[in-house]
Amino acid sequence: MSTLALYLRIWLACARYSLVRAMMFRGDLFIWSVVELMWISVNVSVILVIYSHTRTVAGWTQYEMLLLVGTSMLIQRFLMGFFWSGIFEMGRNVRSGLFDFTLAQPGDPLFMASTRKVELDGLLNSVAAAAIVVYSAWKLGLHPSVLAVAVYLCMVACGVIIHYSALVMAMSLAFWITSSQGVEGSYFTLMEFSRLPREAFNRVASLLFVWILPVVVVSNGPARELLHGFELWWALALVAAAAGWFTLAVAMFRGGLKRYTSASS
Task: From first to last of the 265 residues of the chain, give the pLDDT tens digit.
Answer: 577 888 888 888 888 887 887 777 777 777 777 777 787 888 888 888 888 888 888 788 899 999 999 999 899 889 888 888 888 888 778 877 778 888 887 788 888 888 888 888 778 888 889 999 999 999 999 888 899 999 999 999 999 999 899 888 888 888 887 665 666 666 667 777 777 787 777 777 766 776 677 778 888 889 888 888 888 887 888 888 899 999 999 999 999 888 887 655 5
What's the Rg (C-alpha) of the chain? 19
User: What own/partner pairs with CB < 8 Å and gap ≥ 24 does 16-20 have?
Assistant: 18/117, 18/118, 18/119, 18/120, 19/118, 19/120
Angstrom distances, CA of residue 184 to CA of 106, 172, 173: 28, 11, 10
Paired residues of 60 in beta bridges: 57
13, exposed or middle or buried, with CB in 10 Å at 0-12, 13-18, 19+?
exposed
Distance CA 265, CA 260 (A): 10
143: left (phi > 0), else alpha (psi -120 to 50), else beta? beta
Q: How far is CA 261 from the centre of its chain?
A: 30
Q: Where along the chain do its domains lie?
A: 3-257
Residues 6+ apart with CB under 8 A from 29: 22, 23, 120, 121
DSSP 131-162: HHHHHHHHHTT----HHHHHHHHHHHHHHHHH
Instruction: Determine the 3-state secondary structure of 57 from DSSP.
Output: strand
At 227, is the secondary structure helix, strand, or coil?
helix
Global pTM value: 0.88
